[in-house]
Amino acid sequence: MDRLLSGYRRFRAEMWPSERATYEALAMYGQNPHTLVIACSDSRVDPQRVFGAGPGEMFSVRNIAGLVPPYAPDSHHHGTSAAVEYAVRVLKVKRAVVLGHAQCGGVRAMAEGAPSDAQDFVSRWMEIAAPVLETIPRVGPLHELLPKYEAAVVRLSLANLRTFPWVAEAEEAGSLQVEGFQFDIHTGVLSRLAGEDFVAVDQSSF
């Protein structure tokens, strides 16, 4: 708790003075983020830091492996889907981004085939990404396969995101841009999905 409170004190002393007006405007006029980001809960990958975003600029949704489930209008609880709906239909974001990353524990657990049971939420959740195991031959050591799985998970989440009718409609109308990115924790390099390949941002036209 002391670390949290000391962090808060730094925020008040170092950040609040310069950002106070921004927070006051957000409180008065509400949020108007330009981007929805679906990212992993991994503590090493902070979307706002990676993209250099300030308060009120990004609507972030974080879960294990940064997965987007397919559109499923049923009576179950859908936290990620609800956040996507709110961002696109209510906040009218201009961009929807799926941010994957290297060394993803959720993807590793799926690739290793960790046994699942009714009490294992992680394995059940990772079933969303199971199709990637069928598209990539399990040939070679795991450390060589993981980057391929991680990239494929981003592509799958983008495909699932487009199954939401209002996402597809907004993208077709040109009011929403849907993109995929991959962050390398070790090097700090961000890559953008261009066609079928991820290209380092500083080497692309982005």
For the stretch 101-141, pLDDT in tens is: 999 999 999 998 866 665 578 888 999 999 999 999 888 89
- List all residues 6 or more positions away from 2 whose beta carbon is below 8 Å from its beta carbon: none
User: Is residue 12 domain-shared with residue 79, that is, in the same domain?
Assistant: no
Query: Is residue 197 part of an annotated ligand binding site?
Result: no
- Considering the chain, what percentage of its residues have pLDDT values greater than 90? 84
Asked about 42 being catalytic, the answer comes back as yes
Model pLDDT for residues 162-177, shown as the tens digit of each residue: 999 999 999 999 999 9
User: Is residue 125 domain-shared with residue 88, that is, in the same domain?
Assistant: yes
Is 18 domain-assigned?
A: yes
User: Is residue 131 domain-shared with residue 80, that is, in the same domain?
Assistant: yes
E-assigned strand segments in 16-156:
35-40, 58-63, 95-101
Q: List, in sequence order, every residue forming a beta bridge with 61; answer none if it has no partner.
A: 38
User: Is residue 7 domain-shared with residue 93, that is, in the same domain?
Assistant: no
Rounded CA separation 109/33 (Å) = 33
Least reliable range by pLDDT among 1-5, 147-151, 202-206 = 202-206
Q: Which of 9, 10, 42, 77 is catalytic?
A: 42
Asked about 186 being catalytic, the answer comes back as no
Asked about 124 being catalytic, the answer comes back as no
Q: Which of 20, 44, 89, 138 is catalytic?
A: 44
Residue 34, pLDDT score: 98
| Contact indicator for 143, 130 with CB cutoff of 8 Å | no
Distances (CA, A) of 71 to 96, 144, 153, 168: 16, 31, 16, 11
Is 206 domain-assigned?
A: no
Residue 152, pLDDT score: 97
Query: Is residue 42 part of an annotated ligand binding site?
Result: yes
Query: Is residue 34 part of an annotated ligand binding site?
Result: no
User: Is residue 7 domain-shared with residue 77, that is, in the same domain?
Assistant: no
Asked about 143 being catalytic, the answer comes back as no
User: Is residue 88 domain-shared with residue 19, that is, in the same domain?
Assistant: no
Query: Is residue 78 part of an annotated ligand binding site?
Result: no
β-pairing, 35-40 vs 58-63, is parallel
SS3 140: coil
Rounded CA separation 171/184 (Å) = 28
Asked about 2 being catalytic, the answer comes back as no
Instruction: Give me the torsion for CA of 88, 130, 154, 37, rounded to 10°.
Output: 40
CATH number of the domain at 115, please: 3.40.1050.10
Residue 118, pLDDT score: 53
Query: pTM score, two decimals?
Result: 0.92
Does residue 204 surpass a pLDDT of 70?
Answer: no
Does residue 20 surpass a pLDDT of 90?
Answer: yes
